Structure formats: C-alpha cells, structure tokens
Chains A and B, each alone.
Chain A
C-alpha cells in the first residue's frame, strides 16, 4: 500500500489472512495506529469475522433497509432458473444412454460430440453412484471415476466455470473415497480424501463439502483404529455442519463420534453423547437413528454395569427396527441381547434368545451370521458341560460355512475346533477365539488362524 493512502479491502483481507510480507505487515500496523478511519474499518472487519464464528450468525434478523431486487433482475433470475431446470431434466434423460454397457462404453458415449457435459449430468452421476454405495460399492466406484473423468469436459473459460469445475471434481473424488472405503481399500480411500480436499479448496465455496470429506476420513481412521485422529477429524466436520445449520449431517458426525468414544474406552462420554443425540432424534421423529442410538446405548450401559438398562435399550431398538421393517437389524440385536442375558446370570434365557436368532438368520438366508450365533450358543453350552450338543453344533456350523464357500483360513479354524471337540480338548475360550477370528476375517482376509496356547 502507498504510505499516504488509506487501507484498501485488499490490504485488509490479506492482513487478516496473514498473507502479507513482514514489511507490509509493519506498514499496515503503523498506518492503523495513526488513521482512525482505517482502524475503525479494521475493527469492524475483525468483529464481523468473529461474528461469523457464531453458529447463530446465519439465523440473525435481516435489516429491512436493504432494497428489493428489481423486476428485471427477478425476470433474469427466473430465466436462469428455468434454463438450469431444463438442463437438469435433459441430464436425467441422457443418463440411461450414457450408462449403457461397460464403464469403457460410458467413456465412449461421453466423448460423443452430441453429448454436452453439464453440471447437472455430473450431479446425476454422483447421485447414482451414491445410491449404489452400500449395495454395490464397486459399481459406485466405477460411477465416481466416470464422474471425475466427465468433469474434464466441463467448460472452464470463466472464473465461475473454473470454480464449479474444481467443486464438481472435488465431489467426484469424495464419492471415490467413499466407495473405496466401502470396499475396504483404505489407503486408496485416504489418498482420495486428500485429493478431494485439495480440489474443493480450489473452489470458492468448498468448505461445506470438505466437512463431508472429513466425515469419510474419520470413518477410515476409525476402521484403521487411529481413534484419536478419527475423533479430531469427526469433531471438525460436526463443527462445520453446525455452522452451516445442517443438523442432520452434524448429528451423523456426532453419532460417529459416540462410536469412536466407545471404542476409545470412554464409555460414559459415549453414553452421554448418545443420550443427547437420542433426545434430538426423538424430537425429529427419526426412527432409524433412534434405533441405532438405542443399540449403541445398550452396549454402553451394559459395559457400565447396568445389564437391565442395556436389555431395555435392546428391546426398544428391536421394536423400532420392527416398526421400520428392518428384520436383519432386529435379529442382530436379539443375538446381542441373548449374549448379554446369558453373561449376566440367566444362561437359559440367553440360550433361548440365541436359538431364535440363529433360526431367524437361517430363515433370512444369512448362513454366516447363523453360524456365528451357533458358536455363541456352543460357547455357553460347553461352559454348562453339554459336550454332545456342542459337537453337533460344530458339525452344523462347518457344513454351513462349506456351503457358503468360506475362505480356506475360515474352514481351517472351524476344522481345528472340530478336531479339538473330537479329542476332548475344546474349551469355551477356544470357541470364542474361533468366533472372533471369523468375525474379523472380512477386514483382515489374509490372516491365518492361530489357536490359543493350551492351558498349563
């Protein structure tokens, strides 16, 4: 800035960002000390920056002295909105053509001169990918990669177009990260979150979407057992969602945080957070979230020495899942409730619940889960000395896993258990080791089964 001039907003913004050189900073500071006008502007600007940090800022009353838009402006805006609506409808019609055949065919279709790439088409591709995220993540990944490639066709002649191109490219990488996470390809997913962040930072208004990327990153860190980092990242995402007034996403982040706290062993904190979230889910009549939170609370209060409270939460969660028609979640919770009941002095009641859960899983065609419940039952029965029944269960479980085409290491673990049964060496501890080994196989498929050392 010239020494005689007042500070411009460019100077002020750069000074506030701390992107000025030390010499410029000294000049600006010296000027602020002597110029009342600039100091007032600086103070007002700083105060406004502080206001922005207030989550309530976006809800403050609007001064009514601001002029209304002119009729011409409204008309122009209406025309623009209509044009974008048409583009959106056109993109919806084009999508089935674009996604015919293999992903290589998709790229051939996209390269045709008759196809005009628009933001709306990218949106439709991203939404389509998101739809497949949990049911077919490999397809979701193909769609995210394709959406990313399509972004290269978006126009970038003006700064606004460049801005949007960076934004949509960031969103494509975000979906890529999400799909890779679902596929368990965690290092690649981590890399994709970083690329997504950098693209979104290149757009003017990427902060909100970066919070979504942070959520994915936190879930990845959680899977990698880096719980301290996972918690920091998920809290940062919740803060941004709160600033943007997105209570649904904010709550989603906090639910993840409660899970992380539980895994960190901070069970009481996890319970308190889950209780607060449950209250807000009840206010919003969000049954799915209520069910999930009640299941989490059951685990928390069970660990905190209140089996009765845990049982009640399980029952509430089960009835909510019933209401939602989510049968598998209901059966999963019956399994957990059976385990809890058996562990807390009522083994026979627990066995009845487990038997029913096993039958329900079988009816649902979920033979793997049925096998795991059977192993829970076997552990309890062996503790009570019912050897013959346990041997039958082991044979049934092996048959189920063979039918499922289970991995070699899974069958090896079960075979070891069967041999131990025949030799009279099986113990409840061994059954639990085998069950836990099978449970963790999906996240560590190459792991070999290591039998526990024999009791001295």
Chain B
C-alpha cells in the first residue's frame, strides 16, 4: 500500500511541524534505504535538510521535489565526504592561480575567496563552469577536450570534490 502525497508543496505559510511529520518518513527512506546511510546518521542528514528548508522556505515554491533533491544531494555528499583520498590531487593543483588572485575584487577578498578559488587550477575552474553554468553535457565536454566521457566525468567530479575540500579547509582560517 502506498499513499499519494500532494503534488505541490503547501507553501511557506504552512506549519513547519506538519510538513516535518508529512515528509520526514520519506526522506528517511531515501537516505536510509536508497543510500544505505546508517540509521542515526540518516536522521542527521534529514535533520540538516529540514534546517535548510526552514532557512530557505520563502524561496521554495514546490516543496516536495525540493526536499527530495536536498536529501539526495546531502546523502551523496555524506558518502563523498567519507572518501579520504583525492585520487588526482597534486602539488601543481595546490599552487595558487595568480591570474585568479589578481582578478579578485574587494567583495571576493572579503570572503577570502583567494583561499579557495586561488588554489583551484584554471582548467578545473573552466570545467566546472562549462558543466554546471554553461550547461555542457559530460559528452560535450569530452568532445571539446578530446578525452573520453568517463575521464571527463572523473575530471568534473574530481574538481567538485577538490573545490569543496579546499573550501572546508579554507573557511577555518576566515
């Protein structure tokens, strides 16, 4: 037996507790059953998703898909963070990119963005912009770079991992 939830979220004015009761079981199911996150940690993942929801609820128009995708991303991130090694980080990648450092304006400096973006190689930044901002598919990026799709995917996700790792390291000194 299953129950069909409303297609659209009830909107930001709806009581948050009612939404918690309505959606938490499904989000736990996603984190626990689909992503195999151990029960106590799955609780934590879903809890963080709800906190994000509470903080951003005025911007969220369709609640259910938002909560589901937030849980999916949080669950993926849970496992990615547990991977200890960066398979293709190198000395070269850890060197600041001078061009980026020079380009940073006052606002960027105030965020200590040099600490993060300055350490990501230009190629890495370009790959991320191509994939996530400019909407190129992995196959298109592979064709542009004359590499296999599998390697392109590896590069792109490796760059995301590296960016996040540098940020988490960098923000501690902000």
Q: Using CB atoms and an 8 Å cutoff, list the residues of chain A in contact with chain B.
A: 9-10, 12-14, 17-21, 24, 41, 48, 52, 57-59, 61-64, 66-69, 73-74, 77-78, 80-81, 84, 119-120, 123, 127, 145, 148-149, 151-152, 156, 159-160, 162-167, 169, 176, 191, 193-195, 197-198, 201-202, 204-205, 207-208, 210, 213-214, 217, 229, 232-233, 235-237, 243-249
In the bound assembly, the distance between CA atoms of A205 and B25 in angstroms comes to 20
Known: A63-B2, A217-B133. A19 touches B64 (CB 8 A): no
Known: A232-B134, A245-B62. A204 touches B26 (CB 8 A): no
Q: CB distance B79 to A13 under 8 Å?
A: yes
Chain A residues contacting B117 (CB-CB under 8 Å) are 195, 198
Among A84, A127, A167, A194, find the residue whose CB has the most chain B CB atoms closer than 10 A.
A194
Least CB distance, B45 to chain A, in whole angstroms: 10
Number of contacting residues on B, CB 8 A?
81
| Chain A: CB-nearest residue to B44 | A160
| Chain B: CB-nearest residue to A238 | B135
Q: CB distance B160 to A66 under 8 Å?
A: no
Please list the 7 inter-chain residue pairs (A to B) with the smallest Cβ-Cβ separation, ordered nearest first. A236-B135, A245-B65, A61-B2, A58-B65, A66-B25, A245-B62, A18-B154
Known: A84-B55, A245-B66. A156 touches B20 (CB 8 A): no
In the bound assembly, the distance between CA atoms of A41 and B34 in angstroms comes to 10
Sampled A-B contacts (29; CB under 8 Å): A13-B80, A17-B161, A21-B87, A59-B5, A59-B64, A61-B2, A64-B3, A67-B25, A73-B24, A80-B51, A81-B20, A148-B107, A152-B174, A159-B81, A194-B133, A195-B117, A198-B125, A198-B163, A201-B160, A201-B164, A204-B73, A205-B74, A207-B73, A213-B133, A229-B134, A232-B135, A243-B69, A247-B62, A248-B61
Supply 6 further A-B pairs (C-beta < 8 A) apart from A68-B21, A84-B51: A17-B80, A19-B154, A21-B88, A119-B55, A202-B167, A245-B65
| Chain A: CB-nearest residue to B38 | A9
In the bound assembly, the distance between CA atoms of A415 and B40 in angstroms comes to 78
In the bound assembly, the distance between CA atoms of A225 and B77 in angstroms comes to 38
In the bound assembly, the distance between CA atoms of A138 and B110 in angstroms comes to 20
B54 interface neighbour in A80, A205, A246, Cβ under 8 Å? A80
Chain B residues contacting A197 (CB-CB under 8 Å) are 128-129, 132-133
Chain A residues contacting B125 (CB-CB under 8 Å) are 194, 198
Least CB distance, B118 to chain A, in whole angstroms: 12
Q: CB distance B52 to A164 under 8 Å?
A: yes
What does the 1/0 interface line of B19-31 toward A look like (CB < 8 Å)? 0110011101100
Q: CB distance B168 to A245 under 8 Å?
A: no
Chain B residues contacting A14 (CB-CB under 8 Å) are 79-80, 83
| Chain A: CB-nearest residue to B74 | A204
In the bound assembly, the distance between CA atoms of A301 and B129 in angstroms comes to 37
Q: CB distance A13 to B132 under 8 Å?
A: no
| Chain A: CB-nearest residue to B37 | A9
Chain B residues contacting A9 (CB-CB under 8 Å) are 35-37, 79
Least CB distance, A345 to chain B, in whole angstroms: 44
A84 interface neighbour in B5, B37, B54, Cβ under 8 Å? B54
Say if the beta carbon of B68 comes within 8 Å of chain A: yes
A24 interface neighbour in B21, B51, B87, B160, Cβ under 8 Å? B87
Least CB distance, B92 to chain A, in whole angstroms: 17
Chain B residues contacting A64 (CB-CB under 8 Å) are 1-3
Chain B residues contacting A52 (CB-CB under 8 Å) are 72
A66 interface neighbour in B26, B82, B163, Cβ under 8 Å? B26
Say if the beta carbon of B7 comes within 8 Å of chain A: yes
